[in-house]
Amino acid sequence: MPTVKIVPHKKLWPYLGYCHKNGTIEISDALDSDEQNFVLDHELYHLDDKSKWWVWREIKANAYAAKREPVGFLKVVWRTINDYKRIIKYLSEKGQGR
């Protein structure tokens, strides 16, 4: 079972959650419980996903978690589309292979 930690938002930014290779999952403390549950399911999906392309990994993790936590999914989408700086930073890091 992975270790789940709620961590300061600034530590994870631009991410809302992160799944480390050792199985530790970190989730932003800025999220409400619906969002945290969605992000947790999203990150748990990443633990077993063997896909190589990061876009496909994100699509699958989002679809999986959205089915389980639809309210959290909608809140995270709303949070994301209202923070263009986060989107730009996230995409630039993903483009660098992070």
Inform me whether the pLDDT recorded for 39 exceeds 80: yes
Q: What is the predicted pLDDT for the residue at 7?
A: 98
- Domain residue limits, the chain: 4-95
Count CB neighbours of 11 within 10 A.
12
β 17-19/25-28 pair status: antiparallel
CA dihedral (10, 15, 17, 19) in degrees, to 10, reads -110
Angle subtended at Cα 67 by Cα 47 and Cα 61, rounded to the nearest 5 degrees: 30
> What average pLDDT does this structure show over 75-86?
90
- Among 29-33, 55-59, 91-95, whose mean pLDDT is lowest? 91-95
Q: What is the predicted pLDDT for the residue at 95?
A: 60
CA torsion sign, 63 to 31 to 17 to 34?
Answer: negative
Contact 51, 44 (CB under 8 A): no
Inform me whether the pLDDT recorded for 98 exceeds 80: no
What is the value of pTM for the model shown?
0.89
CATH architecture of 4-95: 2-Layer Sandwich (3.30)
Please provide the average confidence, as pLDDT, over all residues in the chain.
Answer: 91
